[in-house]
Structure 1
Amino acid sequence: MSLTPNYLEDRICLNVLADSVENAKECYEAAEGHVVLGVLSKNYDSDEAAIEDMKKYQEATNNALSVGLGAGDPNQSAMVSRLSAVLQPQHVNQVFTGAGTSRAVLEQEETIVNALVSPTGKVGYVNIATGPLSSKEAAAEIPVDTAIALLKDMGASSVKYFPMKGLTHKEEYIEVAQACARNDFYLEPTGGIDLENFEEIVQIAVDAGVKKIIPHVYSSIIDSATGETKPEDVKALLAMMKNTLK
């Protein structure tokens, strides 16, 4: 099974949730492979159950597995690292303080490890207090360039900018995108992204010069009746991705 992501040559790669192995396969095909499928650690009662199930997703999608926290839950940070050490997925979601642990236990540089930082209401600054303990304290607001340097020190690959609430923090997001570009770092916009604002959000990152962009599109494309991500919406997002790169 390949450790090297299918999408490493992609400028843009989707991150969507998969409710089942079959749903993961459908979304993988709809995105023509330009996707990682999020499976949330929070949905499992034990590491063993998670590992057994997530291996099925890996087999069905050429290891396009993204091990998730679950709505950015910092209490899942340690579990994500434990699972990732065994599974060797292509993508790992982490809080700021968990990125170094995940990189260390992976024992390789190929898996993309993101780190969650949050908007602050101030352009050029992000909140890095997103860990199990730090998230309960006052925000730790630092310059985004410093945050990226810290993440590089820890072996992370990308900034997961969450919760964006769509374009609510547009000016802040523009600066984050520019910082990622000038520091040769990946960017993962997350939170409130839908079919209406997706293209603008991705275009901002493309225009800034970000090398790799992994937008997370979750609840807005999930069928409320089945709980599954809609493959037809994934196809629509893929078309928009292609359009931003014209």
Structure 2
Amino acid sequence: MGIPATPVPLLDARNLHKRYGDKPVLRGVDLSIYPGQVKAMLGPSGSGKSTTLRLVNLLERADQGTIEIDGRRLGLVGKPGAERPAPERIVAKQRQVVGMVFQQFNLFPHLNATRNVMSGLTTVRRLPHKDAEERAVAMLKRVGLGAHVHKYPSELSGGQQQRVAIARALVMEPKLMLFDEPTSALDPELVGEVLRVMEDLAREGMTMLVVTHETQFARRVADEVVLFDDGVIVEQQEPEGFFDNPQSERTKEFLRHVH
């Protein structure tokens, strides 16, 4: 993990602004992440963390600012200075380089675990059914669900359902994984099994941007920790400095509350 000697960001977001009606949610956010890096995003509800993820995954469009992955501009087409919003077919293709795991599992209740995981492979990648099924089963085994490949969501615990959701994102081979508070909907005793999968991914070199309230996970796994507040980034440091020697008074106040 960590930043390479000659860093070139995998994700480079600049001057992101987003409003919902009269309410500004992002007010000039700059955020970058390097290959193999894990960045944890902390902050109170409504501070702009999840909105940032939704912009990076092209689920919503920024009102202002740019997002690049591997040097390629997302969500726009045209020459510099004459850009226009990309049509949905291009957006859908660009979105494939990013995997996203939400708070809620969003599984198809009428499909078993294998079919849930392979759905993107058959509908988006157009893989043959047999190949997609083999990849899906292999990915479910990777997240510790080899014994549950034929079970339906209603037969799985919340932690198991979230691991199916992680497998579904991973099987598409994204360059960047986004996690939006992936443990917030789980009973406390099920949180650990999901965090262990995420730690394994970090050790394997997966680039990850994680919105979380799990401060111990952030301290243990992240290369950098970011605090959002009121639509801006207040502080960004390596975990040791962030938790043990925060520079911002807002960070100190936030950590007093979460601890």
TM-score, reference length from structure 2: 0.37
Q: Give 1 or 2: higher strand fraction.
A: 2
Larger Cα-atom Rg: 2
Q: Which has the higher contact order (CA 8 A, sep 6+)?
A: 2
TM-score, reference length from structure 1: 0.38
